[in-house]
């Protein structure tokens, strides 16, 4: 625990970090749900590279660079659960004061082992500009939140810790962002998770 609570901050218009949003019980329950979803796999990119995170999708399956109802192996995507939509509305309400009408239909669940990272990118395969809700569990990571022009500076590096909420919408919806590294071993043993999980909730617009 911190001596002083980490303050909520708005990094840029529409980009809100809410530390310690989920309590330990809520985090545990979300980790259990993540364990239950099947099909975590490393995505192969058209460039020939393979992403270091292991990902499972709900609602729609993300492929570089589009959404599909089926996965690479032809199997159907698991449904997006309604309770996750409720959580998304609570998240947007916390970030912006009103979550009414936020109706996410996609979740990307990313697992980071000790060496996984994610390069700077925009979340731009959705046809909607509704906000992205990001929830972090387990190991702390360095999250790089940048500008909407390119993957370079200016950007801000902040820590996302277990239970933190980050919402980016409005003028920040298409900001470049990524995870240069995680801090292995920082996960609370009481959570029972080695590594890091991140869930992003999105509106596909499809």
| Residue 123 is a binding residue for Fe ion (CB under 5 A) | yes
Q: Which is nearer to Fe ion, 29 or 150 (CB)?
A: 150
What is the binding site for ligand AKG (CB under 6 A)?
A: 108, 110, 118, 123, 134, 143, 160, 177, 179, 198, 200
Q: Which does 11 bind (CB under 5 to 8 A by kind): ligand AKG, Fe ion, none?
A: none
Q: Are 169 and 69 in contact (CB under 8 A)?
A: no
110 is in an annotated binding site: yes
Whole-number CA gyration radius for the chain: 16
Residue number with the smallest Cβ distance to ligand AKG: 198
Q: Which does 198 bind (CB under 5 to 8 A by kind): ligand AKG, Fe ion, none?
A: ligand AKG
Q: Which does 26 bind (CB under 5 to 8 A by kind): ligand AKG, Fe ion, none?
A: none
| 137: its two tokens | 């569990």
d(CA 20, CA 17): 10
| Residue 125 is a binding residue for Fe ion (CB under 5 A) | no
6 is in an annotated binding site: no
d(CA 44, CA 202): 22
Given CA atoms 35, 37, 40, 44 in this order, what sign does their dihedral have? Answer: negative
List Cβ neighbours of 74 (8 Å cut-off, separation of 6 or more). none
Q: Which does 175 bind (CB under 5 to 8 A by kind): Fe ion, ligand AKG, none?
A: none
Q: Are 89 and 69 in contact (CB under 8 A)?
A: no
**Binding residues vs Fe ion (CB under 5 A):** 123
Known binding residues for 2-oxoglutarate are 110-112, 196-202
């Amino acid at each position: 625990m911190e001596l002083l609570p980490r303050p909520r901050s708005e990094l840029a218009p529409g980009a809100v970090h809410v530390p310690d949003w989920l309590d330990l019980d809520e985090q545990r329950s979300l980790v259990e749900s993540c364990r239950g979803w099947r099909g975590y796999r490393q995505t192969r990119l058209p460039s020939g590279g393979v992403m270091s995170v292991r990902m499972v999708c709900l609602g729609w399956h993300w492929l570089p660079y589009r959404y599909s109802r089926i996965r690479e192996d032809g199997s159907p995507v698991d449904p997006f659960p309604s309770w996750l939509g409720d959580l998304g509305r609570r998240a947007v309400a916390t970030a912006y004061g009103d979550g009414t009408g936020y109706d996410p239909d996609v979740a990307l669940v990313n697992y980071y082992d000790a060496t996984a990272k994610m390069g700077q990118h925009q979340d731009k395969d959705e046809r909607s500009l509704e906000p992205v809700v990001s929830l972090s569990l387990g190991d702390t990571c360095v999250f790089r939140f940048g500008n909407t022009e390119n993957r370079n500076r200016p950007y801000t590096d902040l820590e996302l810790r277990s239970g933190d909420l980050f919402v980016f919408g409005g003028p920040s919806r298409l900001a470049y962002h990524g995870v240069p590294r995680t801090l292995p071993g920082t996960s609370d043993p009481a959570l029972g998770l080695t590594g890091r999980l991140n869930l992003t909730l999105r509106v596909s617009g499809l």
